[in-house]
Structure 1
Amino acid sequence: MTAMPEVEFDVHWPDGRSEWVYSPSLVVEDVFAAGHPYPVAEFVELARSAMATASDRVQARWGFPCSRAAATLARIEHRAAGFADGEVTVVAFRRR
């Protein structure tokens, strides 16, 4: 079996910081639009959906959920908790 397609996405937070965020699936390319700003709460909800779908895809393929998808979501939720408002922009995608 071949590996799952992976992607990282460049996220710019309301405080101006940016980071590359990991996804074990290309689903994030369907959920987020590059260059589009999202209110923080919406970004988190979309990330929850994307990481759940990514983990489900890993489980369907390999028989277990993806711990890296869970870790990505935890990191996003932790980072987003520091913002009462503002927007998060997904700048670009980078397939691995």
Structure 2
Amino acid sequence: MPEMIFRVRWPDGKEANCYSPSLVIQDHFTPGQEYPVRIFLEKAETALGEASERVRARYGFPCSRALGQLQVIRQTCVPFLNRPDAQVSVLSFSF
């Protein structure tokens, strides 16, 4: 399966590379787009869940790395969830 990295900028200005085992991320995010934290989190849960399920369908087990990345995203979003102005920017995709 083709893996990809999607680079994000958190509301505090920090940037991070996020992993996906599948290109399905492209169906949920657009580089250059900003998303309210709650929307970003919902989209990440959906996209990384789908990516993990694609791995399960192909190899018979979910992708622990995708699920781990989702956990990191959840933890990073927590401090910003009560800030309605907080946005996450999707900066780029790399393959």
Q: Percent identity?
A: 48
Q: Does 1:29 align with 2:19?
A: no
Equivalences for residues 76-95 of structure 1 within 5 A: 76-83=73-80, 84-85=82-83, 86-95=86-95
Alpha-carbon separation, structure 1, partners of 2:22 and 2:13: 26
TM-score by length of 2: 0.94
Partner amino acid for 2:31? A
* Pairs within 5 Å for 1:13-52: 13-52=10-49
Match of 2:52 in 1: 55
CA shift, 1:59, in A, is 0.4
Structure 1: gaps of 5 or more residues? none
Gaps of 5+ in 2: none
Moved over 3 A (4+): none
Shift of 1:82: 1.4
How many pairs does the alignment contain? 92
1:2-60 Cα deviation digits (max 9, x unpaired): xx100001100000000110001101011101000000000000000001100110001
